[in-house]
Structure formats: C-alpha cells, structure tokens
Amino acid sequence: MIQRSLTLFGGLFCLILLMGWVMGMPFTSSRLVEAAAYALIALGLNIQWGYGGLFNFGIMGFLMVGGAAVTFISYPVNPVFWGSEGPMMLGKALLAFAAGALLVYAARKSDRIGITGKWKMALTVLAWFVAYVFYRSQLDPAAAYIESAAGGGWIGGLGGHPVLGWLFGGVLAAGIAYVVGKICLGLRTDYLAIATIGISEIIRALIKNMDWLTRGTLTVSPIPWPTPLPQEFQAGGMNIANSLLGARASYLLLALVVLGVVLWLISRAYAGPWGRMMRSIRDNHVAASSMGKNVTARQLEIFVFGSVLMGIGGAMLVSFVQIFDPSSYQPINHTFLIWVMVIVGGAGNNWGALFGAVLMWLIWVVSEPLSKTVFEFVSSWSTQFGWGAIPEIEARSAQMRVFVLGLVITIALRFAPKGLIPEVVKRET
C-alpha cells in the first residue's frame, strides 16, 4: 500500500519534471501553485464525501465565496465610496434585512400565540414576501447609487493582507455552509446533490449581478499577492525569468505551508476518536444514530470543515491570478473537476485526494496544448493527403479537456472505483 503510494507520487514527480522541461519552468511553476490550491479544495471535498459521505455538488459556490472574500479584504480601499452616501444607504438595507429576518422568524414562531396549521403557513409566506419587498426597497436604491459615479462604482476593498482575506474566505464559506447544511443535510444523497448545485447557482447569480458588491462582470484586478510580486523581484535587479520563478516559488511555499498545516490537522483528527465516529456514521448511518451519536450535528460539522477549505482554496486561486471574474466560474471547471480529482485519487484517503488533485490539474492544463499538437500533426498529415486541414484547431483543442475529464472519470468509475490510492479500511472493534 505504502509502496504503491510512493510509486505513484514518484511518477507524479517525474511528470512534473517532464512538464517543466517541455513547457518551461515559469508555466509549470504557475500550474503547481494552482495545483496546491486545488489540493486544498480537494481535501475539503474529501472530508465531506470521503469521510462523511456527504454529497456536495456546490463546490463552485464556495470557491466563489472565497474569491469574493479575498477581493473584499485585500483590494485597496475605494475612498469615493466611503466618502459618499453609500455606506449609510447600505446600513439601512442591512437594517431592513435584519428586520425582515426578524419578521420571518416571528411568523415561524406564531404557533406560540395560537396560530397554527394553514394560517401559520400563510402567515409565514406573507412574512417572507413582506420582508423581501422591504429589503429590496432599501437595497435597490442603494445599489443603484453605489454603482453610479457618485457612489464610487462599487464598495472596493479594505486593503488588508491577502492571508487575512484567505481566512475571511474560510469564515464566510463556513457561515454559508452552516446555513446550507442546516437546511439540506437531511436530504438523501441525490437530492442533496441537486440542492447544492441549485444553491451554488444562486450564489453565482448573486455574485455575478451584485455589481455594487463584487463589481460583477466588470471584474476586479489587480488583486495583491501575499508574497512579493515578480515586479518587486525585478526592482531588486533580477532578470524577468528568474523573477517570475522566484515570485511563484515564494507563493508556492506559502501555499504548501497552508496545505501542510491543514493536512497535518485533519490527519490527526481523522486518526483520533473524531475520525472513528465519522467513519461509523458514514458506513452505518442507522447503527450510529441508535448508538446515541448525534449524526446530524456531526455531519453539519464535517460539511462546514470541508467548505472552509474550499473557501480558503478559492481565495488562494483568486489571489494568485490577481483577478476576480465571476463569469469565469463554471460547474465543469470548479465543481466536477474537483470531484474527478477526489474520485481518481481515492475518496477517503487524504494522500489520494492530494495525488488526484495534482494529477488531474496537470492533465487538465496540458490536455489543451497536447491536443493542439495532436490536431496539428493530424492536420498536416491530412493536408498532405489532400483531405484539407482541420479548421479552428485552437478552439477545438480548448474543448478537448472537457472530453478528457469525462473520459477519465468514466474509466475510473469502471476500473478503479476506489481510486488510485484507496482508503485504508480499518477494522474497528
């Protein structure tokens, strides 16, 4: 088992070296930083699915939340906004939100004063409606004002350190995961999958369209790095290639530190009584609940933990590429890709998830240039035979990776359903 893992990781290392040699070190080093962030995200899913058996198809939503969080914390302050009426109006909208929440809460508790059954239902629906209209009546003018020139266009950032932003990404993701988990975790697996996709789509629609908060499709950049940028290395007299490498290496180092700490923490937790309980809940739902363990609370815990890692990972990715573009988020790239990572690597095994994340990310990024090469080869060959060239090679190669992703997952499910580095099943007594 250990030997198998070592061989696989060794192979992966060779693959990275090969990639560095063929595609160049600057390209490879960037991909490695991203791979580290994806590894963190995959660990998050591994906690939820591998440990807890919870189906989360809403990863994209948590990545977006992390990205928005780090943008908000680390982007420079927008003085126009803070000097305008905007903050005041937003405050009012927030109050309206709180009032609405209170109203809905009161309606849901109306059975205390003897309103029950259909009447309570009607009252609750009415409360929701009133709260929604009231909130919109406060928010819409505020949003319109902030988006105008007088309001500064959007609220801007806080100018804090990016690592604080990552943490905030984790916290925000935790908050959302708590709410989502609270309402959805009782559902059976396939319903949970659909519900989480639905929620992540709602999050995407909100972040994409709340221009006053996130700048929406206008995108935000450049978002600062937690480590010195290549330009700063160059200012120190380094040449461009070395500065790129140096900057990315230091970012990678930071990412690896975060990854290492997380890995150490969850491995420890999983080896202890907490992990034992998680496994017993996953493998035998009924027995665990009859043993008096509070299954729902534990599952909520696990859902929140996993989502925190997704939030942090999403924030790390956005910091690295320096741009937050809500329209670049797609379920294929940001939810299904992660699933493929965990399943190919081995659900329930952290090293498996880690391995799968790095491997799949590399496959994902090289399948485009690789298929381009193949297409060009075939194209030149077919031209020689007088069959004409393949049109639009660029666009077509870009699509190949989606196909490759699908192929990999179907093959994995068919021939290695437990993944390349499967979970080590412990016999518990």
Give the integer Cα–Cα distance in Å for 365 and 198. Answer: 28
Contact status: 417 vs other proteins (CB under 8 A):
yes
Contact status: 191 vs other proteins (CB under 8 A):
yes
- Residue selected from 38, 55, 355, 361 as contacting other proteins according to rule CB under 8 A: 55
Contact status: 413 vs other proteins (CB under 8 A):
yes
Contact status: 407 vs other proteins (CB under 8 A):
yes
The b/e string for 69-108 (b: 16+ C-beta within 10 A; e otherwise) is bbbbbbbeebebbeebebeebbeebeebeeebeebbeebe
Of the two residues 251 and 329, which places its CB atom closer to other proteins in the complex?
A: 329
Angle between helices 393-415 and 350-384 (to 10 degrees): 140
Give the integer Cα–Cα distance in Å for 187 and 194. Answer: 10
* Span of 20-28, 199-207, 253-261, 315-323 interacting with other proteins by CB under 8 A: 199-207
What distances in angstroms separate CA 423 from CA 131, 212, 258, one per listed residue?
Answer: 48, 45, 23
- Nearest Cα to Cα of residue 401 among 366, 373, 375, 374: 366
Of the two residues 44 and 326, which places its CB atom closer to other proteins in the complex?
A: 326
Give the integer Cα–Cα distance in Å for 123 and 120. Answer: 5
Subset of 296-335 contacting other proteins (CB under 8 A):
332
Residues 6+ positions from 373 with CB-CB distance below 8 Å: none
The amino acid at residue 293 is K
* Span of 76-84, 193-201, 233-241, 312-320 interacting with other proteins by CB under 8 A: 193-201
* Span of 1-9, 17-25, 240-248, 336-344 interacting with other proteins by CB under 8 A: 336-344
CB 261 within 8 A of CB 146: no
- Residue selected from 94, 103, 123, 187 as contacting other proteins according to rule CB under 8 A: 187
* Span of 102-110, 160-168, 260-268, 400-408 interacting with other proteins by CB under 8 A: 400-408
Instruction: Report how many residues bind other proteins under the rule CB under 8 A.
Output: 42
Distance of closest approach, residue 361 Cβ to other proteins, in angstroms: 16
Contact status: 51 vs other proteins (CB under 8 A):
no
- Residue selected from 20, 153, 198, 422 as contacting other proteins according to rule CB under 8 A: 198
Torsion over CA: 140, 143, 145, 147 (sign): negative
Assigned token pair, 250? 């230091």
Interface mask toward other proteins for 348-387; x: CB under 8 A: ----------------------------------------
Residues that bind other proteins (CB under 8 A): 55, 183-184, 187-191, 193-195, 197-199, 201-202, 205, 208-209, 332, 336, 339-340, 343, 392, 395-396, 399-410, 413-414, 417
